[in-house]
C-alpha cells in the first residue's frame, strides 16, 4: 500500500487517520438518521412535543456537534490525503467505529435516557430497538476487528506499530 507508507512527510498517521474517519462516521450516521428516518420514512419527527424541555437543549447541542463533525472530519481527511499521511486501513476502522458510536449513542441516550423520540410510533418498540442497537453493536465489533487488522497488517506504516 503505497499511500500508507507516505513519501517522507512523516509516514502514515495511524491515530490521525482513525480519528478523522471516526469523526466523519459520526456525522454520516447522524445525517443518515436525519435524512432516512426523519425525512424519508418519517418514522420519527422533528420533535414530538412529548419530552421535557431539557431534552431540547441536549438535542440542540447534539445537532451542532453532528453538523460540525461532518465538515471537520472531511477537512481533516483531506489534509491527511494531501500530505500522503493517510493510513487507509485505520481510516476504514475509524469510519466503522464512528458509525457504530453514533448509532449506539442515539439508540441509548437519545431514545431511552432522554426519551427525545422513539424509533417508531404505534408499534411494539422492542424489535425496532433491538435492530437499532444491534446494528450499532455490529458496527462497533466490525470497527474493533478492523482496528486490530490495521495494526497488524504488514506495511501499515511506521506509526502503526508503536510497541
Partner 1 sequence: MSPAHHGGAVVGWLPVLVLLAAALVVYAGAARRARRAPRGWSGLRTASFAAGVVLLAAALSPAVVQGAHHDPRGHMLQHLVIGMYAPLALVLAAPVTLALRTMAPAWRRRAARLLRSRALHVLGHPVTALLLDIGGLYLVHLTPVYAAMQASPAVHALVNLHYFAAGYLFAWAVAGPDPAPRRPGTPTRLAVLFAAVAAHSLLAKLLYAYPGTWPPGADHAAAMGEAAKLMYYGGDLAEVLLAVALFAAWYRRRGRRFAARRPVPAAGGP
Q: Which residues bind partner 1 (CB under 8 A)?
A: 7-9, 46-47, 49, 53, 56-57, 59-61, 63-65, 67-68, 70-72, 74-75, 78-79, 82-83
Closest contact distance (angstroms) between CB of 112 and partner 1 is 20
Closest contact distance (angstroms) between CB of 76 and partner 1 is 9
Q: Which is nearer to partner 1, 72 or 158 (CB)?
A: 72
Distance CA 76, CA 78 (A): 6
Q: Which is nearer to partner 1, 70 or 125 (CB)?
A: 70
Closest contact distance (angstroms) between CB of 99 and partner 1 is 20
Pull the grid cell for residue 25. 462516521
Residue 95 CB partners (closer than 8 Å, separation 6+): 21, 22, 24, 25, 28, 143
> What is the DSSP code (8-state) at residue 34?
I
Q: Which is nearer to partner 1, 81 or 125 (CB)?
A: 81
Q: Which is nearer to partner 1, 60 or 155 (CB)?
A: 60
Burial environment of residue 83 by CB neighbours within 10 A (0 to 12, 13 to 18, 19 or more): middle
Look up cell 458509525; give the residue: 99
Amino acid at each position: 500500500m503505497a499511500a500508507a507508507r507516505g513519501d517522507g512527510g512523516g509516514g502514515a498517521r495511524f491515530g490521525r487517520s482513525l480519528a478523522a474517519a471516526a469523526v466523519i462516521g459520526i456525522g454520516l450516521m447522524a445525517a443518515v438518521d436525519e435524512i432516512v428516518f426523519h425525512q424519508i420514512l418519517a418514522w420519527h419527527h422533528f420533535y414530538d412535543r412529548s419530552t421535557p424541555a431539557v431534552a431540547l437543549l441536549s438535542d440542540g447541542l447534539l445537532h451542532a456537534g453532528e453538523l460540525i463533525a461532518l465538515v471537520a472530519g472531511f477537512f481533516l481527511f483531506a489534509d491527511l490525503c494531501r500530505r500522503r499521511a493517510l493510513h487507509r486501513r485505520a481510516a476504514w476502522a475509524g469510519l466503522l467505529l464512528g458509525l457504530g458510536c453514533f448509532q449506539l449513542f442515539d439508540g441509548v441516550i437519545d431514545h431511552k435516557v432522554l426519551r427525545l423520540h422513539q424509533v417508531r410510533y404505534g408499534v411494539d418498540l422492542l424489535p425496532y430497538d433491538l435492530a437499532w442497537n444491534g446494528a450499532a453493536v455490529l458496527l462497533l465489533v466490525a470497527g474493533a476487528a478492523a482496528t486490530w487488522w490495521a495494526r497488524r497488517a504488514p506495511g501499515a506504516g511506521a506509526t502503526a506499530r508503536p510497541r
